[in-house]
Amino acid sequence: VPQTGQNQFKYTVLETCERIKDEFNCLQTHNHNLKMEIEKMLQEKTEMQRHYVMYYEMSYGLNVEIHKQINETILGKMEIAKRLNAIIVQILPYLSQEHQTQVAAAVERAKQITMSELSTILSLQAKFSSNRIRSISLG
């Protein structure tokens, strides 16, 4: 059956409508997939923010606890230093003049110790302690 120009036009219009419909459905599916992906990313973002807040709270709490412990340690050491100083002051009069001078000089030197000197002393003490433990365990 020979097709006339009008039939061909209808056929191409129908084909075009079908293609438009297919493309629309494809775009609609793609749009739906993008919306689902956005929703998933929003959930992930919310979860990441929740983890960030939890991490921040934990690190803040840990920081506060560390500072509290450092302050307690410092206060404890200051108390020990006060007590030792009180003991030295009580014992000092019973020492000979030469020893009194030496002790007074040592106390003054101890009051002027720097952080680097203190670090050196502490590292030497730690080294000495580990060597003693090693020699005890080997002996």
Mean pLDDT in order along the chain per 10 residues (139 residues): 63 90 98 98 98 96 93 90 93 94 92 88 85 70
- For residue 2, the model assigns a pLDDT of 52
The half-sphere exposure of 14 on its side-chain side, counting CA atoms within 13 A, is 6
- For residue 1, the model assigns a pLDDT of 47
> Is there a contact between 99 and 110 (Cβ–Cβ < 8 Å)?
no
Which pair of structure tokens corresponds to residue 122? Answer: 């502490």
> Is there a contact between 82 and 90 (Cβ–Cβ < 8 Å)?
no
DSSP class of residue 94?
G
Alpha carbon of residue 12 to chain centroid: 67
- Amino acid, res. 96: S
Say what the pTM is. 0.47
| Total residues belonging to the chain | 139
- For residue 37, the model assigns a pLDDT of 98
DSSP class of residue 113?
-
CA distance 39 to 43: 6
Contacts of 107 (CB under 8 A, 6+ apart): 85, 88
DSSP class of residue 4?
P
- For residue 135, the model assigns a pLDDT of 73
CA distance 62 to 111: 32
